Structure 1
Amino acid sequence: MTNHDEAAAVRPLTLAWVSRHLDFGERIVRTEALHGGITAEMRRLTIGTRDGGTRDVVLRSFVDPFYVRHAEEGLYREAGALTLLTGTGVPAPGLVAVDPTAEHCEYPSLLMTHLAGRTVLGDEGLETRVPLLASRLVAIHALRPAERPRKYVALTTADTVVVPKGADAAVWAAAIDVIRKPAPPYEGRFLHRDFQPGNVLFDVPPSEPAGARITGVVDWAAASWGPADLDVAHCSTNLALLHGPAWGLRFPEAYEEAGGVLAATASGRLYWLVRDALACSEEVQLVSQPWREAGRAELTTRTVEERLDAYVTALMDALG
């Protein structure tokens, strides 16, 4: 077995566990670290098959002590979501095996099939990708599972918001007041809960960016039940920080154009959009680092903070 880089090495117990879930005569011939994630180590494992060919699987392992504490619940939830999504038409990985409590591996781990495609975080072709993202999210929200996943968990409170340096204190105070109110009523939907460009795979023809298509949606560990607005708000925040506030404002429109239904009132829409944006204020450095590692070197923590401030201001101007 060869490693694409040193970080790709699979630990011995985990390697043995993976091997037990391969077909007879198969073996791991190559490993490669996948970058861009925040909570877990990701590796692509190339499997040599009996007929001399290869296939790929993906290994997710929770190693950081903070995330290990939450790994069991998250891995059970992701395994359940992947099982549910089988045969639905949503392009998600297939579950191969899961070890939520690290009974067999060094760390809590999940093994899944590999999907073709790549994440695309650059500005080029964005006008094509945004409607595709919206259409895919509408399809996810249309799922009606026999057993609902857990209710969504809010990621911030009025007391934990971090106001960026130099931000308009009055604007942010007004935004914080928005989420002090009770959540608006909503019709529940199946949520990805971390739907954003970093978790969507594309096939983009080099000579024709407008011919892009979505090949997969990954990272279902936070799958839950709640308002469609919440998934839309999360993707909107990410688009605003990656590409500018105007794209954050554009995504809810694209979602409705694709047939999605959002909160009926401006105040209801504002609540979810602001809640997600303010949640991001607590982890700007955490979300911006993988973007820089993926090639967006200009997205420094300070730059992302400034975009977040501009986005919150734009939301309050448009809907507040």
Structure 2
Amino acid sequence: MQSTESTLSDRALKWVVDAIHPEAEVLSAERLFGGVSSPVHGISLRVDGEVRHFVLRQIDNKEWLQEQPDLVVREAESLRRAAEAAGVRIPAVVAFDETGSRCGTGMPALLMTRLEGKVVLEPEDRFAWLNGMAQALIQIHDVKAGDFPWAFAPYCNAASLDTSSWSKVPDQWQIAAGIVTSERPAFTARFIHRDFHPANVLWSGGAVSGVVDWVNGCIGPAGVDVGHCRVNLALLYDVRTADEFLTLYRQYAGDSFAYDPYWDLVTLIDFAYWPPEVYGGWTALGMGGLTTEMMIERLDAYLVSLLDRVSKTKAQADQRAKG
């Protein structure tokens, strides 16, 4: 994440210090950018002569909090559960303020450790980049979390999807909406990140060094994480890149993952429900050259590729049924 001068209040900083060590010295506090859903600050402290680094997330979206008042608790529990993933580093929970009353801001807050590494959106070796993300996601999905209390739900109501104001293929979007609002396929419930994409993956020394932003962690179909990452890749690059990620994930998952394009369509509609625009997190992280027109073209192209997958899947099922 990129950073700039801190806007943290003295009381919020005191809460951070008290959570770490009452005699800790604040060395720096800076606003981090790259995410757009809530204010995030990086804070460095000297504790017993050692410099330690932390991240403070504060939730300031009142509408989001009305819908999900337990967001901070959810992220804290997601982080704790995700820490069980073998081979993937996850921020550790230090403290949280469910209402923001102790921070004095009225914004629910979560303090966690800061991981080494940075986001990579323009890799020198795209195959290694996709491969690292696929391996990390497999390890997350291997976490045993059948008792996790938060469950997957779509962000948008596909039945009210209307792309006529921007898409060149609005009729095909309606076909996609019809598929999503039909019977949901069976799936194996797994622990999922729910917002897995390149801007939430950190890299150091050419390898994945951590996965961050766990506020949406829940139990749901693995295809939702795969699909969410794929639509991000289709927008950042193209359909081919999204398909390469799917191929790698399927190779690692083996028989534990039954791919169904239905979940790709669910996550795609999350992006198409409102007129497309370039994601602010990408530009904040230095990704240039993207335009709204490109986002529209790439969403349409990805949609067409998915509907083709649906047709082929149906044809294969019909062929098997005939023997």
TM-score by length of 2: 0.88
In the other structure, the counterpart of 1:221 is 215
Q: Tell me by how many angstroms 1:285 deviates.
A: 5.0
Q: Tell me by how many angstroms 1:257 deviates.
A: 1.0
In structure 1, how many angstroms separate the alpha carbons of the residues matched to 2:169 and 2:67? 36
Gaps of 5+ in 2: 312-323
1:287-315 residue CA offsets vs partner (Å, 9 max, x unmatched)? 61221222122222332122111111111
In structure 2, how many angstroms separate the alpha carbons of the residues matched to 1:69 and 1:12? 27
State whether residues 61 and 108 of structure 1, in contact with CA within 8 Å, keep that contact through their aligned partners in structure 2.
Answer: yes
In structure 2, how many angstroms separate the alpha carbons of the residues matched to 1:88 and 1:292? 30
Q: Tell me by how many angstroms 1:83 deviates.
A: 2.0
Q: Which amino acid aligns with 1:16?
A: K
**Pair 1:67-2:64 in alignment:** yes
In structure 1, how many angstroms separate the alpha carbons of the residues matched to 2:179 and 2:128? 33
Aligned 1:138-177 pairs, distance under 5 A: 138-145=138-145, 147-163=147-163, 165-177=166-178
* The one of 77, 80, 85 aligned to 1:83: 80
Q: Tell me by how many angstroms 1:94 deviates.
A: 0.3
TM-score by length of 1: 0.88
Deviates more, 1:11-20 or 1:113-122: 11-20
Deviates more, 1:102-111 or 1:15-24: 15-24
Across the two proteins, how many residue pairs are aligned to each other? 304
Gaps of 5+ in 1: 205-211
In structure 2, how many angstroms separate the alpha carbons of the residues matched to 1:88 and 1:65? 32
In the other structure, the counterpart of 1:275 is 266
In structure 2, how many angstroms separate the alpha carbons of the residues matched to 1:91 and 1:225? 20
Q: Which amino acid aligns with 1:84?
A: R
* The one of 24, 29, 48 aligned to 1:26: 24
In structure 2, how many angstroms separate the alpha carbons of the residues matched to 1:177 and 1:307? 21
Q: Which amino acid aligns with 1:203?
A: S
Aligned in 2, Cα 1:165/1:284: closer, same or farther, shift over 3 Å? closer
**Pair 1:317-2:304 in alignment:** no
Q: Which secondary structure does the structure 1 equivalent of 2:116 belong to?
A: coil
In the other structure, the counterpart of 2:184 is 183
In the other structure, the counterpart of 1:99 is 97
Aligned in 2, Cα 1:137/1:88: closer, same or farther, shift over 3 Å? closer
Deviates more, 1:120-129 or 1:183-192: 120-129
In the other structure, the counterpart of 1:251 is 245
In the other structure, the counterpart of 2:197 is 196
Deviates more, 1:141-150 or 1:72-81: 141-150
> Percent sequence identity over matched residues?
29
In structure 2, how many angstroms separate the alpha carbons of the residues matched to 1:21 and 1:77? 19
In the other structure, the counterpart of 2:316 is none
Q: Which secondary structure does the structure 2 equivalent of 1:55 belong to?
A: strand
Q: Which amino acid aligns with 1:37?
A: G
Aligned in 2, Cα 1:114/1:232: closer, same or farther, shift over 3 Å? same
Q: Which secondary structure does the structure 2 equivalent of 1:21 belong to?
A: helix
Aligned in 2, Cα 1:162/1:224: closer, same or farther, shift over 3 Å? same
In structure 1, how many angstroms separate the alpha carbons of the residues matched to 2:308 and 2:123? 25
In structure 1, how many angstroms separate the alpha carbons of the residues matched to 2:233 and 2:223? 15
In the other structure, the counterpart of 1:130 is 130
**Pair 1:13-2:4 in alignment:** no
In structure 1, how many angstroms separate the alpha carbons of the residues matched to 2:76 and 2:158? 32
In the other structure, the counterpart of 1:36 is 34
In structure 1, how many angstroms separate the alpha carbons of the residues matched to 2:277 and 2:32? 17
State whether residues 122 and 296 of structure 1, in contact with CA within 8 Å, keep that contact through their aligned partners in structure 2.
Answer: yes
Aligned in 2, Cα 1:128/1:172: closer, same or farther, shift over 3 Å? same
